Amino acid sequence: MFRKTSLIAAASLALTLAFAEPSLAAGAYEPPRGSAERAAINDAVRPMMEARLGAPVEFVVERMQVANGWAFVILLPQRPGGKAIDLSQTMLADLAEISGDASLYALLREANGRWNIIDFAIGPTDAFWYGQPLYEQLPAGLVPQ
């Protein structure tokens, strides 16, 4: 009887894993440098940051986690070649006076083959996602703990 129960349990687990979405089974991951997925996520937020900071903007990726069609990023904007952005000359001049930090925290969702911004904060001073119902429903490992 024990063997039959064990075989049924093993078969059930195998079927569950076989039909689970790959990203759910694998958990959150960081897309590799140079990958199309990483570029697509960066490109999804670039127009928003260029509108605020002026073009061109590139990013240093501090954190990028993807799982089950969701992405959470922490990006540090800079000019090409690593040149710092003078915030006092941008729409974010008030951040220059407060913290000097224009890091972008963004939650994105992939739909119809493109990444879309769902929520974001520029230069936050706290973990704004704590206690927010949307963030509590996201896959494990996506946002910092």
Over the stretch 111-134, which tens digit does the pLDDT of each residue have?
A: 999 999 999 999 998 999 999 999
Q: What is the model's pLDDT at position 35?
A: 98
Across 72-96, average pLDDT: 92
- Tell me the pTM: 0.80
Element (H, E) at 25: helix 22-26
Q: What is the pLDDT of residue 52?
A: 96
CA–CA separation, 129 vs 133, rounded Å?
9
| pLDDT tens digits along 10-68 | 334 333 333 334 434 458 999 999 999 999 999 999 999 999 999 999 999 999 999 99
How many CA atoms are closer than 13 Å to the CA of 25, on its beta-carbon side?
A: 10
